Amino acid sequence: MSEYGADHVQDGPGARTRNGVLRGSLKDGVASFLGIPYAQAPVGELRFRAPEPAESWDGIREATAFGPTAPKRPYAPPLAALLPDPEVAGDDCLNLNVWAPWPATGPGDGGTPGGGRAVMVWIHGGSLVHGSSAVSVYDGTAFARDGVVLVSINYRLGIEGFGVFPDAPANLGLRDQIAALTWVRENIAAFGGDPERVTVFGESAGAISIGALLASPLAKGLFRRAVLQSGAPTSKSVAFARKTTEAIAARLRVPATAEAFAGVDRERLLAAQTAVTGKGSPLISGNLFHIVVDGEVLLEDPGDALADGASAEVELLMGTNTDEYRLWFVPDGHADRVGPLSQRLLLRRGRIAPRTAKVYRALRPQEKPGEVLGAIATDWVLRVPLNMLADFRLHSGRAAATYLYEFGWPSPVLDLRACHALELGFVFDTLDSPETRMLTGPDAPRDLATAMHAAWVAFAKTGDPGWRPWDTARPVMTFGPGRPALVEAPREEERLAWGS
């Protein structure tokens, strides 16, 4: 093997990284290397501290099983039956996985003279408190099968990743992501990847994280393209985000400092965190964790930074699902409990203009008040901000191409329709996974998964997913119901009701 090359070691595929040699698994021309540390375990003196580079090892390190997941609690019912969230015990949670075509030194896809393959780095969602790279829906085999080196990462969650303390750095989970991307830049060539053609992609909190990475000076140059699935660039002030930390501290009866929290038993800490944050969601207010403008990782709100031209050189693919809200509003009966009066009270609490709500009610006369409320929330939090970002980039005249999509295939499970997270099994082409079927049911259309997955692969390789980039006609590629189709300005009357 060359200094940072790739080859075979005894009994499996081998890759020599800067930290040492790895032995992975090989199946049907795809090598997988799992549980690779990209930073030291965030325990002891490194707990509530910025990530430190991983230590080197002697000999050959086995990389055939997922590494430990970040400390977390499972989703509460009823979401626990819909969203898989495996836990792997251990302290070394700052790890990542690589799937790559093998042999790694074979022909690339023509991107560079050296033949390195396009790389995609997956950042999972979960409201910054759930999720991991061990979810089988995120298996990278299909991407490697189609010529992409796929990387998925873990990062610190909850109070340990996004707590706000006076005696610790902020945005630790985001700093972990930057450390993982730095590892990719330094080591991905050992797996046949091209460090100059990295695409970051993520969903929900993962997409929100990518919005922050696009605006962060610390992530500059670590990726060339980005995909935001059902998450818009946003942040909160340190003072606002600190309220969640203070609420957990009050429940624990300790000072709201990293020093005090480090002395609390982890299970007790997770129990308090769950009690404080458990009733919130991306579309429902509550005590949540947030990315913050800390003056180091983020100098200003990501949305403002991107509107002002940050990462204009990065090609973007962004989109939402038609019925995002149904994941939170339907399984627990929330959509049925909302009546006309409570709808108006909730809209007033959210400071939604009455004229905006009036447009949605008029265009959805057959829908329940809770469903109209959900459609408004979906557009307010997701669709409208992403449309605005696409418009800012277009009107600047200086930005790289921007592409928008909408996923609309309706799942029959619990009448969830095209809810939040439903597109994931289609993007990864993992419809056969039992965990994917928790949301899709057994008969999801394979041709739609083939088309959507192929678009993501094409975007990573070429910067073009296969349809017209954003222009004044507002083209959106719709993936279902039915065959993929390019639609101009879908539901434009509702979007215009926001005055944007």
Give me the active site residues, please: 204, 324, 420
Q: What is the 3-state secondary structure (H, E, C) of the chain?
A: CCCCCEEEECCEEEEECCCCEEECEEECCEEEEEEEECECCCCHHHCCCCCCECCCCCCEEECCCCCCCCCCCCCCCCHHHCCCCCCCCCCCCCEEEEEEECCCCCCCCCCCCCCCEEEEEEECCCCCCCCCCCCHHHCCHHHHHCCCEEEEECCCCHHHHHCCCCCCCCCHHHHHHHHHHHHHHHHHHHHCEEEEEEEEEEECHHHHHHHHHHHCHHHCCCCCEEEEECCCCCCECHHHHHHHHHHHHHHHCCCCCHHHHHCCCHHHHHHHHHHHHCCCECCECCCCCCCECCCCCCCCCHHHHHHCCCCCCCEEEEEEECCCCHHHHCCCCHHHHCCHHHHHHHHHHCCCCHHHHHHHHHHCCCCCHHHHHHHHHHHHHHHHHHHHHHHHHHHHCCCCCEEEEEECCCECHHHCECCCCCCHHHHCCCCCCHHHHHHHCCCCCHHHHHHHHHHHHHHHHHCCCCCCCCCCCCEEEEECCCCCEEEECCCHHHHHCCCC
The CA–CA distances, whole Å, from 76 to 81, 104, 251, 355 equal 9, 41, 20, 36
Contact 141, 223 (CB under 8 A): no
Q: How far is CA 3 from the centre of its chain?
A: 33
Burial call 231-255: b when 16+ CB within 10 Å, e when fewer: bbbebbebeebbbbbebbbeebebe
